Structure 1
Amino acid sequence: MLLILSVLTSTNAQNKKDSIPSFLGVSYMPAQNWKVWNVTNDDGDFLKHKFDVNSQSTFEGNFGINKIGVRLGLSANIENNFIGKAYRYGGYIGYKSIWLRIQSSKVSGSVEWSGTNPTSFPRTNTFASNYFTIELLKSSKAYKVMAGGAEMNRILGTYWGIGYTTLSIPLKISTLTTPGGRENQKFGKPAYDSLFKAKYYTASFGFDILRQLCMTGGRIGSIPGKPAQKFGIYAATQDKIGFGPGTHSDFAVRMAEEQNPGLKFVDPKGFSTLVHYYLSVGFRYTVTIKPMFMVFAAGYDFEGAGIINFGGAADTKTDLGWESSFFYVAHGVTFKIYLSWIGK
């Protein structure tokens, strides 16, 4: 708590002219549950995932958040991504009207393959990876086109942003063969990837009543002209789309080729798209102890996405193509705390 107070104090002292106050939000999901489905099961549904129960942590705030994020092992500079670079550059030039959100969770467990299997490949495999997202977010002017106008927007807290997401997960691969030409493709023998890896640059839009309540210090409630009540409900949602490379492992290439002798796996690296949705609902309670305003909340978070992979077509009779698109959902109970500096 002393670290949080020092961050808010120093950030507030530096940012007297900011368009948003100094604030920090922390969300913790002690048990995140995952589920994965293949888009294509015409050639069999042979891969079953068993996920471990892992936690997820989310930190957001204006630029002082880095002092806390680094202390807790969350860095904006993972994989030297563009968003992390923009964040650092923004800090140097003092552009503070945007805020940062960092989210990280471990994704681990095991998979079991029930299809035909070359003897050199295990039917069960364990995996462990990190699901990481960093976003630069900014309040939007959606009130210009939304019902209720500016007053409603001040309650909802609409925003937009850009981000970077990495995801690694095992998945089933449907192989594709052809006597010649993509129009003649048919399924070969399927295989599985022990750890498919994807990286996305994203664009998003959403609203967050909880964060907005923190940013306004509770001064604006659902009843016009009156402050927010201490106890209430909240909702937050985000729509996101992303594009980037998706890469199949050497394990997937070797297994697919052994399943389909005489054929050569086409480029294991393709173009991947992410279509993502997030929803959080729950209850919150506010506390004002000047110079700080605090929001405590408990609720349920749900996110789901479709991953569509391109680039695996078979063009010639020696090509072994692939199709590996899938859906996933992740969800669980969350506990949140938001703090903002409102002055004396």
Structure 2
Amino acid sequence: MPYCKAALTVVFFTGLCASQSGAEIQSSGVRTMGGLNHIAKNNWNPKFNLIPKFMRDDTYKEYNQNYFLKYEFAAESFTTYEGALTDSKTGINLGFTAEIDDNLVGEINKYSGYLGIKSLMLRMESGGIRGSAVWTGLSVSSMPATVDFDSSYSNVSLVYWIGKAPFDYIGLSYVSFGLPIQIDTMYTNTNKTKQVFGKPVYDKDFEAKIYALSFGMDTLVTPLLFPDAAKRSEFYKLMAESEEKSNGMGAFMSMQSLFGIGSARVSDEALAFAETANPDGGRKAVNGKHTVGYVAMDFSFGLQYKVKNHFALGLGYNWAVTSLTPFGGGADNPTKLGYTYSFNLLRHGPVLRAYFAF
């Protein structure tokens, strides 16, 4: 899952995709860029909540106070390597990025590539997240207390390059992923409007497929790949003037956001575990397919040092949030066993960024 940047990490690689018009970038036509992002230490918080405490009613507090599935992710730190090439004369743009674990094996977590023509780009991203999930709640017959996972993540995006603040680009994305999550059970003694929480279980094979609107920007990378950014955007013009006055010192900000809706599935095995954990009344689980809302945000902020439009070094902090909200899944009547879940994952850590372009 994204970024899900972690598999739930969305690799941010903003608008390296396209030029707005063929002759705007530079007279030579070709611009090459390379660089890396290094997350020195990942901190994971699976109980992160997007809703402030003062907005949570009593039912919401009761539902969210116990999260029994603990994650241990394999990637404590990672480095993302990026490369891009633009040709303003032909309008063709190429790029590739790879996210690699910082361990002895150096296994690739995620890779992506894109092909762009002028202001449009098709980007394909694939990867995964590895680790283990430990169940700390009440034991359920046949449900393992620990499960190792190696979940896949893919993202296909059609992006339009704007090149002006507040966003470098906007696009449409199709995202699919899987990850173990906790499933909270629900039942009713009367009707669907009065749900009572039962005993929770977890689903090691949870899957989701999302259609999302994406947008983002990167004030460190964009001026390197597109030296004319200050001419096309008042925002980048002000940044360039400020950096010139401060001898290349300044601040950077990068952001990628996805907001979408799609379909998700709680596996038949997890539904069977739910029935086993809640035997009273002989209730049968409802259908595992349902609609789900999706939010993924990746944000970095920090200080940078830039040498014209040829080199940039940044040091800051990165936050990545992934949130899933189900629609449906409730018990229709006293003979049914419903479900819901609250998945909000925060990953954060210091980030070092270094890029060159010529």
1:55 corresponds to 2:48: no
Cα distance in 1, alignment partners of residues 126 and 272 from structure 2: 31
Once the two structures are superposed, residues 86-130 of structure 1 have per-residue CA deviations (whole angstroms, 9 ceiling, x without a partner) of x66xx5xxx322356666664233222233222322222222224
**1:134, distance to aligned residue in structure 2 (A):** 4.8
- 1:6 matched residue in structure 2: none
Structure 1, unaligned runs of 5 or more: 1-10, 77-86, 143-152
Q: 1:253 aligns with which of 264, 271, 293?
A: 271
Do the aligned partners of residues 60 and 180 (structure 1) sit closer, same or farther apart at CA in structure 2, a change above 3 Å counting? Answer: farther
Do the aligned partners of residues 114 and 131 (structure 1) sit closer, same or farther apart at CA in structure 2, a change above 3 Å counting? Answer: same
**1:58, distance to aligned residue in structure 2 (A):** 6.6
- 2:56 matched residue in structure 1: none
Give me the TM-score of the superposition, normalised by structure 1.
0.71
1:303 corresponds to 2:309: no
| Aligned partners of 2:111 and 2:127 also within 8 Å | no
**1:212, distance to aligned residue in structure 2 (A):** 2.5
Q: 1:171 aligns with which of 170, 181, 206?
A: 181
User: What secondary structure, in the 3-state scheme, does the structure 1 residue paired with 2:269 have?
Assistant: helix
**1:223, distance to aligned residue in structure 2 (A):** 6.0
- 1:333 matched residue in structure 2: 350
**1:131, distance to aligned residue in structure 2 (A):** 4.4
| Aligned partners of 1:65 and 1:100 also within 8 Å | no
User: What secondary structure, in the 3-state scheme, does the structure 2 residue paired with 1:17 have?
Assistant: coil
Q: 1:117 aligns with which of 123, 139, 148?
A: 139
1:32 corresponds to 2:54: no
- 1:320 matched residue in structure 2: 337
- 1:17 matched residue in structure 2: 22
- Aligned-residue sequence identity (percent) comes to 29
Cα distance in 2, alignment partners of residues 169 and 100 from structure 1: 26
| Aligned partners of 2:179 and 2:206 also within 8 Å | yes
User: What secondary structure, in the 3-state scheme, does the structure 1 residue paired with 2:252 have?
Assistant: strand
- 1:185 matched residue in structure 2: 195
Give me the TM-score of the superposition, normalised by structure 2.
0.68
| Aligned partners of 2:20 and 2:119 also within 8 Å | no
Do the aligned partners of residues 28 and 164 (structure 1) sit closer, same or farther apart at CA in structure 2, a change above 3 Å counting? Answer: farther
User: What secondary structure, in the 3-state scheme, does the structure 1 residue paired with 2:331 have?
Assistant: coil
1:107 corresponds to 2:107: no
Moved more, 14-23 or 320-329: 14-23
Do the aligned partners of residues 279 and 74 (structure 1) sit closer, same or farther apart at CA in structure 2, a change above 3 Å counting? Answer: closer
**1:217, distance to aligned residue in structure 2 (A):** 2.8
- 1:237 matched residue in structure 2: 255
Q: 1:98 aligns with which of 112, 117, 120?
A: 120
Structure 2, unaligned runs of 5 or more: 1-16, 50-59, 87-92, 99-107, 231-236
Do the aligned partners of residues 230 and 98 (structure 1) sit closer, same or farther apart at CA in structure 2, a change above 3 Å counting? Answer: farther
Cα distance in 1, alignment partners of residues 317 and 124 from structure 2: 19
1:64 corresponds to 2:84: no
Query: Is the helix fraction higher in 1 or 2?
Result: 1
**1:24, distance to aligned residue in structure 2 (A):** 4.2
| Aligned residues: CA RMSD | 3.8
Correspondence 1:63-82 to 2 at 5 A: 63-65=93-95, 74-75=111-112
Do the aligned partners of residues 318 and 157 (structure 1) sit closer, same or farther apart at CA in structure 2, a change above 3 Å counting? Answer: closer
Cα distance in 2, alignment partners of residues 16 and 48 from structure 1: 49
Letter in 2 for 1:27: N
- 1:266 matched residue in structure 2: 286
- 1:204 matched residue in structure 2: 214
Cα distance in 1, alignment partners of residues 158 and 33 from structure 2: 14
Cα distance in 2, alignment partners of residues 314 and 38 from structure 1: 27
Cα distance in 1, alignment partners of residues 144 and 120 from structure 2: 48
**1:204, distance to aligned residue in structure 2 (A):** 2.5
- 2:54 matched residue in structure 1: none
Letter in 1 for 2:170: W
| Aligned partners of 2:20 and 2:163 also within 8 Å | no
User: What secondary structure, in the 3-state scheme, does the structure 2 residue paired with 1:213 have?
Assistant: helix
1:194 corresponds to 2:204: yes
Once the two structures are superposed, residues 157-213 of structure 1 have per-residue CA deviations (whole angstroms, 9 ceiling, x without a partner) of 643222233343222211111235212321222111124222222213333211232
Do the aligned partners of residues 325 and 179 (structure 1) sit closer, same or farther apart at CA in structure 2, a change above 3 Å counting? Answer: same
| Aligned partners of 1:56 and 1:106 also within 8 Å | no
**1:273, distance to aligned residue in structure 2 (A):** 0.9
